[in-house]
C-alpha cells in the first residue's frame, strides 16, 4: 500500500531516506534496496523532502566572511574571486584594516612563485600591504606614480618596497608623481630610465591590486589631489569612477581625458591585459563607482564589506537598474 508522504509514516520514511542520503552518504540504489523502494521513488522522496522544508541545505561559514553575498557578487559579475567581509562600517580606518587583512589572506592563498604582483596606490592597498604575509619570492611592480597625502599612509613606492622586502622578490619602483602639470612633462618622465624600467615590467604582471574611487569629494584620493578644472572636466565627460588612474563612465566604459595624458601610470589597455585585477572598495557611497568598475571588464576580483556589496547588488538588480 502506498504511503501518504504527508502523514506520520510518510514523514518518517522521507526523513529516514533523507538521513541515509545526506548524512550517511548512501547512494539512491543502496537506500532503495534497504527500504524496498525503487530508486525513482527514493529520488521523489528526496525532492519532496526538500520542497516541503523537511530537509534544508545551508552553506554557512562561522566567521567574518559573508559566504552568501560573496557567491552572489562573484556570480553576478562573473568574477574570479569575491570576498565580502561582514564587519561594521562606521569607522573608515577600522574598515580598511578589516578589508586589508581579508585581501592579504586572499593574496596569500592565490599568489604563487610564478606570479608577478602589481600594486596601485590606494589607502586600502596600503592596509593590505601591512597585513600581507611573505609571498613566495613574488616580484612586485609599482603601477602608479606617487600620490602622497598629508598624514596619509605610505606612498606607492613604500608599499611596493615593503611587500617585496617581506617576500624576498624584486621591487620595481619609480620616483615620479602620479600627475604632472602638462603632457610634455609626463612624456619626459616616462622616458626616464627608472620609470621606463619599472613600467616595462607591467606586461609581466599576472595579479594586481587597486582601490576604487568615486569621482566626488572625499571619495577618491585622485579627485581630491587634482585641480578644480580637472575635476569639472572629467565630470563633464561623464566620469563616475577611477581605478588605478583609469577613468570609467557609469556603464564601465574607459574615458580618456586630458588629465590622462598628464599621469604617470598604466592605462585601460594595460589594466585589461592583467589576468586578474583585485579591487578593495569600501563605503556605501561608492556603490555606483563599484558597479562601474565591475561592469568594465577590467576587474576580476573584489574584497569588500557587507553593506557595500548589498548596495551594489540591490541597485544593479532593482527597478530601473543600469
Q: Work out the average pLDDT over 165-177.
A: 91
The pLDDT score that the predictor gives to residue 14 is 87
pLDDT at 320 over 90: no
Comparing CA positions, the residue from 35, 116, 101 lying closest to residue 280 is 101
CA distances from 183 to 59, 90, 186, 188 (A): 53, 40, 5, 9
Between the two ends of the chain, the Cα-to-Cα distance in Å is: 57
pLDDT band for position 3 (cuts 50, 70, 90): very low
Question: Please, are residues 70 and 82 in contact by the beta-carbon 8 Å criterion?
Answer: yes
Q: Work out the average pLDDT over 253-260.
A: 96
User: Cell triple for residue 27?
Assistant: 547512494
pLDDT at 316 over 90: no
Q: Work out the average pLDDT over 118-137.
A: 91
83: exposed, middle or buried (Cβ count in 10 Å: 0-12, 13-18, 19+): buried
pLDDT at 2 over 50: no
pLDDT band for position 152 (cuts 50, 70, 90): low
The pLDDT score that the predictor gives to residue 6 is 56
Question: Please, are residues 116 and 141 in contact by the beta-carbon 8 Å criterion?
Answer: yes
What's the whole-number average pLDDT of the chain?
Answer: 90
pLDDT above 90 covers a percentage of the chain that reads 73
pLDDT band for position 1 (cuts 50, 70, 90): very low
Question: How many Å apart are CA 209 and CA 101, to the nearest integer?
Answer: 13
pLDDT at 252 over 50: yes
The pLDDT score that the predictor gives to residue 56 is 85
The pLDDT score that the predictor gives to residue 166 is 83
The pLDDT score that the predictor gives to residue 161 is 93
Q: What is the DSSP string of 59-118?
A: ---SSSB-HHHHHHHHHHTT-SEEEEE----S-HHHHHHHHHHHHHHHHHHH--TT--EE
Query: Rounded to the nearest 5°, which phi and psi values hold at 302?
Result: -145, 140
The pLDDT score that the predictor gives to residue 88 is 83
Q: What is the DSSP letter of 214?
A: E
The pLDDT score that the predictor gives to residue 247 is 98
Distance of alpha carbon 75 from the chain centroid: 12
The pLDDT score that the predictor gives to residue 151 is 56
Question: Please, are residues 98 and 86 in contact by the beta-carbon 8 Å criterion?
Answer: no
The pLDDT score that the predictor gives to residue 273 is 97
The pLDDT score that the predictor gives to residue 168 is 87
Q: pLDDT by residue (tens digit) across 50-98?
A: 888 888 876 655 558 888 899 999 999 999 999 999 988 878 888 999 9
User: Cell triple for residue 239?
Assistant: 566620469
User: Strand pairing partners for 213?
Assistant: 242
Query: Rounded to the nearest 5°, which phi and psi values hold at 232?
Result: -70, -40
Distance of alpha carbon 70 from the chain centroid: 10
Q: Work out the average pLDDT over 262-269.
A: 95
Question: How many Å apart are CA 111 and CA 106, to the nearest integer?
Answer: 8
- Which domains occur in the chain, in start order? 8-52 (1.10.10), 67-317 (3.40.50.1360)
Amino acid at each position: 500500500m502506498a504511503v501518504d508522504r504527508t502523514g506520520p509514516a510518510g514523514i518518517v520514511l522521507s526523513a529516514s531516506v533523507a538521513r541515509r542520503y545526506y548524512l550517511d552518504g548512501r547512494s539512491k540504489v543502496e537506500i532503495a534496496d534497504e527500504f524496498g523502494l525503487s530508486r525513482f521513488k527514493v529520488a521523489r522522496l528526496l525532492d519532496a523532502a526538500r520542497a516541503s522544508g523537511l530537509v534544508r541545505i545551508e552553506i554557512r561559514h562561522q566567521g567574518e566572511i559573508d559566504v552568501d553575498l560573496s557567491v552572489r557578487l562573484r556570480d553576478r559579475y562573473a568574477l574570479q574571486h569575491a570576498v565580502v567581509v561582514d564587519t561594521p562600517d562606521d569607522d573608515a580606518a577600522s574598515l580598511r584594516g578589516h578589508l586589508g587583512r581579508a585581501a592579504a589572506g586572499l593574496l596569500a592563498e592565490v599568489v604563487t612563485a610564478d606570479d608577478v604582483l602589481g600594486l596601485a596606490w590606494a589607502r586600502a592597498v596600503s592596509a593590505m600591504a601591512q597585513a600581507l604575509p611573505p609571498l613566495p619570492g613574488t616580484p612586485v611592480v609599482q603601477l602608479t606614480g606617487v600620490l602622497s597625502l598629508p598624514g596619509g599612509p605610505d606612498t606607492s613606492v613604500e608599499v611596493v618596497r615593503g611587500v617585496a622586502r617581506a617576500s624576498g622578490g624584486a621591487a620595481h619602483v619609480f620616483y615620479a608623481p602620479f600627475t604632472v602639470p602638462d603632457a610634455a612633462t609626463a612624456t619626459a618622465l616616462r622616458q626616464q630610465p627608472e620609470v621606463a624600467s619599472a613600467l616595462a615590467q607591467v606586461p609581466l604582471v599576472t595579479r594586481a591590486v587597486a582601490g576604487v574611487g568615486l569621482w566626488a569629494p572625499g571619495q577618491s584620493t585622485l579627485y581630491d589631489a587634482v585641480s578644480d578644472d580637472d575635476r569639472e572636466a572629467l565630470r563633464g565627460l561623464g566620469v563616475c569612477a577611477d581605478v588605478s588612474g583609469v577613468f570609467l563612465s557609469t556603464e564601465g566604459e574607459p574615458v580618456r581625458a586630458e588629465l590622462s595624458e598628464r599621469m604617470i601610470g598604466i592605462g585601460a589597455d594595460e589594466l585589461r591585459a592583467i589576468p586578474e585585477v583585485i579591487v578593495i572598495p569600501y563605503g556605501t557611497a561608492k556603490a555606483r563607482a563599484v558597479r562601474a568598475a565591475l561592469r568594465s571588464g577590467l576587474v576580476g576580483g573584489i574584497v569588500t564589506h557587507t553593506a557595500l556589496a548589498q548596495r551594489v547588488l540591490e541597485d544593479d538588480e532593482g527597478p530601473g537598474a543600469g
